[in-house]
Structure 1
Amino acid sequence: MATTFQKCKTRQADPCDKARCGHPWTVRYREPGGRSGRQREKSFPTKRQAEAHGNKMEADKLSGVYLDPDRGKITVAAWWSEWLGAQVIKPNTLRDYTGFANNYLLPTLGRKTIAAVTPNDIQRVVAVMDEAGLMASTIATRVIPLKAVFKAAVDNDRIAKDPCRGMKLPRSASQAVDPDRIPTLTQVVSIAQALPDEYRLNVWLIAGAGLRPSESFGASEDCHRGDVYRVYRQTTEKGDGQGNRKALVPLKHRAAGDYREIPLADWLGQEIDRHREQHGTHALVGASGLLFSTIAGALLTHESFYYHWRRAMKALGLAYKPHDLRHFFASTMLAAGVSLLEVSRWLGHRSIRVTADTYGHLVPDSWQRGRKAMQEAMRPRFTVVKDVPEEERGTLTQAA
């Protein structure tokens, strides 16, 4: 059991003889393990505080939730480094995590011990990002490693409570795509014709198969499999973690070797064949059969493609981004009655919820179907009155 005493009363040389001397009170207890457990002590200004701490430590031991106080004394900076070194993450993710830590987390909390971090401290990190002008959606992404690093501290018995619980983030705007960002068929064709012929197929792959721009840049002849298109990699200029700035990397949200397949329209298959016949294939960064490369013979990425894209937009008087061509694909599929689940799978979204939040409002006739469903459900109870002037009646009247 924990023992509470005043050290001033127990010292051999000149012990304190006052009943209420005002000296601190010390509580002494052992860590789990009985007599073999490490002996600890902590001092408090009053006897009541010392006894309360001792009782808590004993209760924690009985409940099996006791934590070594020293384990929480590691700084946020040191714990971040230890946690990050244990993660298996992609180079792009590592870059994003490191940028978040260097710009926001460590300057704000780096010197504090993880045990001393409070919910207010966590909220301050969010406020710093908000003051820096980051979008709400970006902040929501940046706090992912923040939550993970403190959850790991709890899981590794460094701290008892997660200070990130209850974190409040800036309200994000709706994810629903603005119909004005969806190019028309005529505009898609115009964009393709305005680009150099060697990059025209990128437009067709993004608009006709729903590929992300970076996925279209990494296209190769083995992706074309009859009436199916298999996408299994993308290009990046953020580096692959092995010293290569421009590289071929796995798909977003997927592990190396994963892929997704998309139904391929006949016309798109013919465009792939035409492109290969006219422009051949390329062997770059250890891969062969690539359909695209830069004029200088390097891997095609956003960086080099956007030069030609911007020129096309200026010539056409448009302001679309390459990613907007994916909106054309999604809206076309939904208008044809393809299920949201299939569209989500073909787009490569992490979950169908992302697809629903982005494109759910584009499902054709959904409003009319909703009206019809409610009308049919309530028909036995209500009937619409149509035989009297509108100013003399309500919309609905209870049926007899």
Structure 2
Amino acid sequence: MSKALLRGMGTFFKECSHPESRWSKCPHPYKIRYRNVAGKQTVESGFANQDNAIERLVEMYKARKGAPRSQSKAERIQKYGSMRFEEYAVEWKTGQRDLAASSMRHLDSLLSNHVLPALGSRRMDSLDHKVVDRFIQAMERNGVGLATQANAYDKLKAILLDAHRLGIFEENPLEGVKPPQYDSARAVIPSVAQLQEIRSAGGDVFRLIVDLMSGCGMRNGEAAAVNVNNIVADDIYRVSEQVNQTTRQYGRLKHRKVGEYRDVPLPVRIKETIEWYAGRHGTTDGCLLKHPMDPARTFPYYYLSNQWQRIKRFEEIDIPEGMVMYGFRHFFASNCLSKRIPITDVAEWMGHNSIDVTFKIYRHLMPGSIGRLRLTCRYTKTV
């Protein structure tokens, strides 16, 4: 006869003829039965009283709960816990096969310039929330921009959470950490009047790309790959590829697998711009933009960048202080949110990997649908 305790804790019993009601006065020792840390059923004997038997069961129960669930997990802890962070980061990075070349280049830059110099030589099992806090504070003291701080923290977070899933940390090493807050004021957004003036200050290519970024929310590389065949409806453009700045070839979208796409709003004005440019300059297999010297090659991003710098240098038009080319894409997001388009739609149209990214950048603009947005982009018609 035996007596069970809490589920999973085990049992205590006596191997004698006395009933349980007489155990406390019976001279025979208590025995216990439980599963050890390896999961094997074990029996121990020689306990003079019930309290000693239960105390031993509790001790072994805690040991089993605190032990790795399997030998493979214990081996992972032994292997990766003593590994230096820089070694773990290299191994983790090889698994990021979904990253586009430009995203991988950005990841390498964040790791080599910010994360590894501070944490590279540390043992993985020495990292905790205090170490992460000190890393963020060091970036603040060194004057690292808030956007870069946020990006560097996001990469460190991804690596540490991966290690946490392996069992290297008993507790979440990011618990209680206050992440860097991206400064929304750095997302400089032109007004409608400023945008109209800026788009008219460059050549035809510049005007086309500015309209695609500000009216459809495209990234620079996506706008450079614009194709008339991707107009799948009067008010919808299908973004299916981009010009990769590293390879200078057409490639998959950021945060998307090969063949994946996203449908974005195509306001009347932007559709007219595409048609105007195609009628004026023609297309190559539907593509509007190609290398000026060789139509067999993709459009070179530096042509656009050089023109933007010339426009800013001349100081003849009103450009908001601190604005960069990405400000045209910011305009798209602010325009959507000001018209009460759901942020979930905005995140999808912009191709963000997570709605958290959209909220982090544009939360200060927050007070459904492609059809509604078509009516919001009707400033000066392209001629």
TM-score range, shorter chain: 0.5 to 0.7
Q: Partner of 1:49 in structure 2? A: none
Per the alignment, in what secondary structure is the counterpart of residue 290 of structure 1?
coil
Deviations 1:327-364 (A, max 9, x none): 44445555666555544443444455655665566578
Distance (whole Å) between structure 1 residues aligned to residue 336 and residue 86 of structure 2: 48
2:191 to 176, 183, 195: 183
- Letter matched to residue 242 of structure 2: Q
How far 1:65 moved relative to its partner? Answer: 3.2
What residue ranges of structure 2 are gaps of 5+ in the alignment?
Answer: 1-35, 42-57, 368-383
Q: Partner of 1:256 in structure 2? A: 258
Distance (whole Å) between structure 2 residues aligned to residue 337 and residue 84 of structure 1: 38
Distance (whole Å) between structure 2 residues aligned to residue 270 and residue 93 of structure 1: 32
Q: Partner of 2:63 in structure 1? A: 60
- What aligned pairs does 1:53-92 form with structure 2 within 5 A after superposition? 59-65=62-68, 67=74, 70-71=78-79, 72-90=81-99, 91-92=101-102
Is contact 1:154–1:162 with CA below 8 Å preserved after alignment? Answer: yes
Distance (whole Å) between structure 2 residues aligned to residue 146 and residue 80 of structure 1: 9
Q: Are 2:292 and 1:295 aligned? A: yes
Identity %: 26
Q: Partner of 1:236 in structure 2? A: 244
Distance (whole Å) between structure 1 residues aligned to residue 241 and residue 219 of structure 2: 10
Distance (whole Å) between structure 2 residues aligned to residue 121 and residue 263 of structure 1: 44
How far 1:202 moved relative to its partner? Answer: 1.5
Per the alignment, in what secondary structure is the counterpart of residue 65 of structure 1?
coil
- Letter matched to residue 105 of structure 1: V
How far 1:128 moved relative to its partner? Answer: 3.5
Distance (whole Å) between structure 2 residues aligned to residue 356 and residue 76 of structure 1: 30
Per the alignment, in what secondary structure is the counterpart of residue 251 of structure 1?
coil
Residues 132 and 265 of structure 1: CA distance in aligned 2, closer, same or farther (over 3 Å)? same
Per the alignment, in what secondary structure is the counterpart of residue 262 of structure 1?
strand
TM-score, with structure 1 as normaliser: 0.63
TM-score, with structure 2 as normaliser: 0.65
Distance (whole Å) between structure 2 residues aligned to residue 162 and residue 302 of structure 1: 42
Distance (whole Å) between structure 2 residues aligned to residue 63 and residue 133 of structure 1: 42
Q: Partner of 2:159 in structure 1? A: 149
Q: Are 2:160 and 1:161 aligned? A: no
Per the alignment, in what secondary structure is the counterpart of residue 230 of structure 1?
strand
- Letter matched to residue 182 of structure 1: P
Distance (whole Å) between structure 2 residues aligned to residue 356 and residue 135 of structure 1: 19
Residues 159 and 190 of structure 1: CA distance in aligned 2, closer, same or farther (over 3 Å)? closer
Distance (whole Å) between structure 2 residues aligned to residue 62 and residue 117 of structure 1: 23
Q: Partner of 2:317 in structure 1? A: 317
Is contact 1:104–1:125 with CA below 8 Å preserved after alignment? Answer: no
Q: Which of the pair has the greater relative contact order for Cα pairs under 8 Å at 6+ separation? A: 2
Is contact 2:243–2:251 with CA below 8 Å preserved after alignment? Answer: yes
Measured on the aligned residues, the alpha-carbon RMSD in Å equals: 3.5
How far 1:64 moved relative to its partner? Answer: 4.6
1:221 to 218, 228, 234: 228
Q: Partner of 1:101 in structure 2? A: 111
Deviations 1:132-187 (A, max 9, x none): 32222321221223222222223223343343333333444346966xx32324x4
Distance (whole Å) between structure 2 residues aligned to residue 332 and residue 251 of structure 1: 23
Deviations 1:250-285 (A, max 9, x none): 333333322222343444323322312322234xxx
